[in-house]
Amino acid sequence: MTQQYPPETSTPGSGDSASDYQLYIRTKQVEQAWPVIPDWPLSSRLGPLLVSFEITLKILQESLDEAAQRLYLNSGQKCEAVVVCLNLQLRLLTEFGSRETMGRENMGHPSKSMGHPSRSSRETVGVPSSPSSIPEGIHGPASGESAWGDVMQKLARMSQGERLCEELNLRYQALVEALGFDLGLAGTAGFDYDKWIKPAQVHNLYTPDRRNDYPEDALFVRVHQVCEGLLEAMHVELRDAEQALYQVDYLAAESRVLMSARFARALDTVLGLLGEMSQTEYAPLRLAQRDINISQSPRWQAGKSIVKDHFWLFIQQLKNYGLDPFLVMVNHREHVVEHRLLQAFKRLSRTMQESLSNHFLLMQNIQGSAEVGNIDPDALSLESPGATPLLPELVKAFDKLTLWTSLKHAGQTGAVMRELEEEHGLAEKYHREPPTEPSTRSRMLRTIDRYFETLREGERDAWIALFSDPPYLEDPKGSSPAVSRQELDLRFRNLRNLFPRIDSCEYQILVEGENSLQVQWTIAGASFLEDIPASATRDQIFHFDPNGHIRMTIADWNPEALADQLLDQHREAMLNVIGQID
């Protein structure tokens, strides 16, 4: 895209050149704003989140000013959306901080050199009953540069503002308790917030000399700067998850992966602020947002790669024990810890893709689907339901579990459904009498040959066309039958899912009648468990109409036995690859 802003003197990131995203969002300056506080190792963890929180405060401050001036009809709704983001960030800071500061006596923290805040100073972070009762220095104008005091004063004047102030103050108090000292957000003792967070400098990460006629451009930049801090916190969690994986501490890895998912969900919430803009604010962003979106963030791209690498490391470790994700999920009671970590990876990957998908849809709403430019191919959207998943091996394992479970319980499920339908008077479709008119042997044999040929070749429409109207397929015997062409279509797809490749369908006729054939046939090929071969034998009776179409057919076989056979073969195959890491 054509740059419409001055190039930066230094390039963000480690590469020789900066991307449009890095230049526009000013990621280099964002990184430099993250504090490194002496004698407080946790600054590298909490610093990016605190800076993101301060930027969000600035967004709320400007949104409150818009609401007071009634510049846009949805200004109040926008303010409430920003408050939701602030609450979420305070909650994440509290959880992140409380866990990481459990050993702060040994690690050191700012209050050692700066002094603990007094009990009275911490208790002043209360809830205003009305704007006039806001304590000076806490909820009124802050003594420092942070927007907190001004925000709380203006927020309290809004409709429902006192409730929103109460929520924020309670969240802030919880953070203070978790850390064991006051952050000094409103100028209180215990932590020099202005010195280390530098609100004035942070607010200038968006410079007014660039496109200063468009305040919505500032919102666009600041929202993505907040996301950079959230992504950095997610990277911290993923680094710890990697260490836990190498130590085969799967419970610790699960905790870190789930926390990473929390940050990805927060990212989604913050990006949603762009959707709160008035329609009149969209125009200046159409060009910028075409090629400047979160999927172009180097941190986002790196995060995806890290998640994939961590999951692959976990898969390789499972292989050393003769396991894979499918076997872990099937026998989750035997592999509880491994199953929990798999579920955590599922949540993280799904949350990351949903965040990107929601952002993609937001861009479509702003620009129109025809104008959307670069977008990450991993994005899932209503328009691209088949997009590549972030962890395809995990998705494949869950698909296998679904197919295996449906096969294992096909007979039982079908019988229960039939019983329920009969109980509720929906069993008319079962009252199907075999035809009385005779059919010719040649027609019946031709139909049978074609029946198995179309199954083998995957010719769904041709297979369905062999049935009369209405059809009747009871498979397995005693289950709820398929009595429409749509249901036949589903049965055919299910069979092909179980046997993605069919090598042969051999049959022999056991009994011949005037209009019926009883056959025994065997299907053989590759199962849904990839390279595991499978075969199944079933007895099936076919009744034909005078034209040779299948009027009624019932298959007698044991799906559960086939499921057990496939599982045993898969276990054996995995045991054969113990220690073989690609």
Residue 150 C-alpha from the chain's centroid: 36
How many Cβ atoms sit within 10 Å of the Cβ of residue 436?
7
Whether 330 is covered by a domain: the verdict is: yes
525 token code pair: 């090929």
Residue 3: its pLDDT value, please?
32
Looking at 173, 196, 219, which one is the last position of a domain?
196
Whole-model pTM: value is: 0.81
Q: Are residues 417 and 493 in the same domain?
A: yes
> Can you give the CATH number for the domain in which 240 is found?
1.20.58.480
Look-up: residue for tokens 């100073």?
Answer: 121
186 token code pair: 């409103």
- How far, in Å, CA of 140 to CA of 149, rounded? 5
- How far, in Å, CA of 482 to CA of 396, rounded? 28
Residue 559: its pLDDT value, please?
92
Radius of gyration of the chain (CA): 32
Q: Are residues 152 and 63 in the same domain?
A: yes
- DSSP SS3 for 509: strand
For the chain, what is the domain count? 3
Q: Are residues 354 and 421 in the same domain?
A: no
Whether 368 is covered by a domain: the verdict is: yes
The answer for residues whose C-beta is within 8 angstroms of residue 513's C-beta and 6 or more apart is: none
Residue 38: its pLDDT value, please?
80
How many Cβ atoms sit within 10 Å of the Cβ of residue 275?
15
Residue 580: its pLDDT value, please?
54
Residue 141: its pLDDT value, please?
30
Each residue of 316-353: b (16+ CB within 10 Å) or e? ebbbeebbbbbbbbbeeeebeebbbbbbbbbbbbbbbb
Whether 46 is covered by a domain: the verdict is: no
Q: Are residues 187 and 294 in the same domain?
A: no
Looking at 177, 196, 215, which one is the last position of a domain?
196
Pairing of strands 473-474, 550-556: parallel
- How far, in Å, CA of 50 to CA of 89, rounded? 9
In tens digits, what is the pLDDT along the chain, a chain of 582 residues?
333 333 333 333 444 467 888 988 889 999 999 998 887 777 888 899 999 999 999 999 988 988 887 766 677 888 899 999 999 999 999 988 777 655 444 344 454 433 333 333 333 333 333 332 222 332 323 345 677 888 888 898 888 888 999 999 899 889 888 887 788 776 555 678 888 888 888 888 875 555 445 667 788 889 999 999 999 999 999 999 999 999 999 999 999 999 999 999 999 999 988 887 755 555 555 555 556 788 889 999 999 999 999 999 999 999 999 999 999 999 999 999 999 999 999 999 999 988 888 887 777 776 654 444 455 555 444 444 445 788 999 999 999 999 999 999 988 888 888 788 777 777 666 677 777 788 899 999 999 999 999 999 999 999 999 999 889 999 999 888 899 999 999 999 999 999 999 998 999 999 999 999 999 999 999 999 876 888 899 999 999 999 999 999 999 999 999 999 999 999 988 888 664 544
Q: Are residues 192 and 71 in the same domain?
A: yes
- Domain span at residue 175 reads 54-196
Q: Are residues 215 and 119 in the same domain?
A: no
Q: Are residues 430 and 553 in the same domain?
A: yes
DSSP state of 5: S
Q: Are residues 353 and 230 in the same domain?
A: yes
In the chain, the amino acid numbered 501 is R
Whether 42 is covered by a domain: the verdict is: no
Q: Are residues 160 and 282 in the same domain?
A: no
Look-up: residue for tokens 């398929």?
Answer: 482
Q: Are residues 81 and 188 in the same domain?
A: yes
> Can you give the CATH number for the domain in which 466 is found?
3.10.450.50
